[in-house]
Structure 1
Amino acid sequence: MSFLQRLTTGLSASKIGTDRFGNTYWESRKSWLGYGRKRRFVLYNGAPEPTKVPPEWHCWLHHITEAPLPERPLYAWQKEPRPNMTGTPQAYRPPAHSRAAAVQRPPTAGDYEAWTPGA
């Protein structure tokens, strides 16, 4: 975050809290014209990655709850959120995908007949 952004955010908004990833959450001091309510936003710790926003803060950001929900520890069956891997080598690809690692698509059955125009 740049110095100018930090300065303007501190003057125009009030800090609400911080999550376990180090992201800080802010709310504007005045209602925005045309918006009808106070604007809520997040300043990310590091690269701006929306998948780093926990569900408790997501509810508050989208005006679902008036106050942020308390953060609870994860259950044994829950996993930490992962960043979006689309467009990277770690992206999910189904088994028959042409770019899947070392997987050959099974040949098609011999019942396919190509269409020829005018036939």
Structure 2
Amino acid sequence: MRFILSLLTWWHEETLGTRLFTWRKGVKVGEDEQGNEFYTTRDGKKRWVMYAGEPEASRISADWHGWLHFTFDDNPAKAPLVHRDWEKPHRDNLTGTALAYVPAGSIRREAPVERSDYEAWQPE
């Protein structure tokens, strides 16, 4: 079933074309802490990622994002960025999932919080 999904769809994992291109021309340059694998062509003109699990772009850290977009030439597996102590660790974007942030007054909350700092406007 997984093979058939890879032939017909792109949102579950890489397509058959990407898999074949990676097999023929790709050189693996590294892997991040989430298991995503990063590749480049032998001439270094193209760079891409093969996601481990759901293909979600927000799962790529700043180091690898910069490398993918040719902002950094150095491979983050060999020369990671220097992170400052005030920087927060990378987190996935949870928008659109059940774990997304929902503010106190939102109708998406299961039990909306009663607000005392707000009074609805009523026309006269």
TM-score by length of 2: 0.64
Would you say the 8 A contact 2:29–2:39 is kept in 1? yes
Q: Which has the higher contact order (CA 8 A, sep 6+)?
A: 2
Other structure's SS at 2:38 match: strand
Equivalent of 1:44 in 51, 58, 67: 51
Query: How large is the RMSD of aligned CA atoms in angstroms?
Result: 3.2
Q: In 2, Cα distance between the equivalents of 1:51 and 1:27? A: 20
Q: Kindly indicate whether residue 117 of structure 2 is the aligned counterpart of residue 114 of structure 1.
A: no
Structure having the larger proportion of residues in strand: 1
Do the aligned partners of residues 85 and 58 (structure 1) sit closer, same or farther apart at CA in structure 2, a change above 3 Å counting?
Answer: same
Q: 1:105: Cα distance to partner?
A: 3.5
**How many equivalent pairs are there?**
107
Do the aligned partners of residues 3 and 97 (structure 1) sit closer, same or farther apart at CA in structure 2, a change above 3 Å counting?
Answer: closer
Identity %: 35
TM-score by length of 1: 0.66
Equivalent of 1:10 in 4, 18, 23: 23
Would you say the 8 A contact 1:51–1:81 is kept in 2? no
Would you say the 8 A contact 2:29–2:38 is kept in 1? yes
Structure having the larger proportion of residues in helix: 2
Residues 67-94 of structure 1: CA distance to partner in whole angstroms, max 9, x if unpaired? 2232379777665433322122321122
Please name the residue that 2:109 is paired with. 100
Q: 1:96: Cα distance to partner?
A: 2.0
Gaps of 5+ in 1: 32-37
Equivalent of 1:88 in 78, 86, 97: 97
